[in-house]
Amino acid sequence: MGYVKGSIEASIQLQPNNCYMERTGRCSLELTDDFFISGGGPKMAADELLYCPRLYQAMLRDRTKPLTVTPCECGHGEVAPGMQQRACIASRTRLPLLLKLAKPKPACRVCGEQISFDTQPGARIVTLRAAVETEE
């Protein structure tokens, strides 16, 4: 087994109810440098100030959890639902991620919206540093 390393462009879609930046216009990773919450702290909503900084620290501790990405014929990937924040954090911090590839599809959300002119707020392309496990 080996790994192929590189970078990919993937589409994500975050909304004000699951992203502090979409709600306030400022990324929580840029606003917080150092923080402490005793005993793991309470469960946080995805749009709260410390959600992404805490998730980033968890991602640094456990880099073995792969991010599921669907390859698209448009040349982008599409990040699976529920993994959007992880992809955004990895893009902003240049943190390499393991990828797990899903079944390919014709076009990512962003390119599909450009074709249909049905744009959704929060949809954007991010660049991810990635490693894909190979069978060889």
pLDDT given at position 117? 58
What DSSP designation does 105 have? B
pLDDT tens digit at each of 136 positions of the chain: 566 788 989 999 999 999 999 999 999 999 887 776 666 667 788 999 989 998 998 899 888 889 999 999 989 999 999 999 999 999 999 999 999 889 999 888 888 766 555 556 678 889 999 887 666 6
Range of the domain at 54: 2-134
Read off the DSSP letter of residue 66: P
In the chain, the number of structural domains is 1
Distance (Å, whole) CA 30 – CA 134? 35
Strands (E), 24-119: 67-71, 77-79, 97-101
Closest CA to 20 of 96, 125, 122: 122
> Which residue from 106, 96, 102 is spatially nearest to 131, judged by alpha carbons?
96
- The model scores a pTM over 0.75: yes
| Phi, psi dihedral angles at 120 (to 5 degrees) | -115, 135
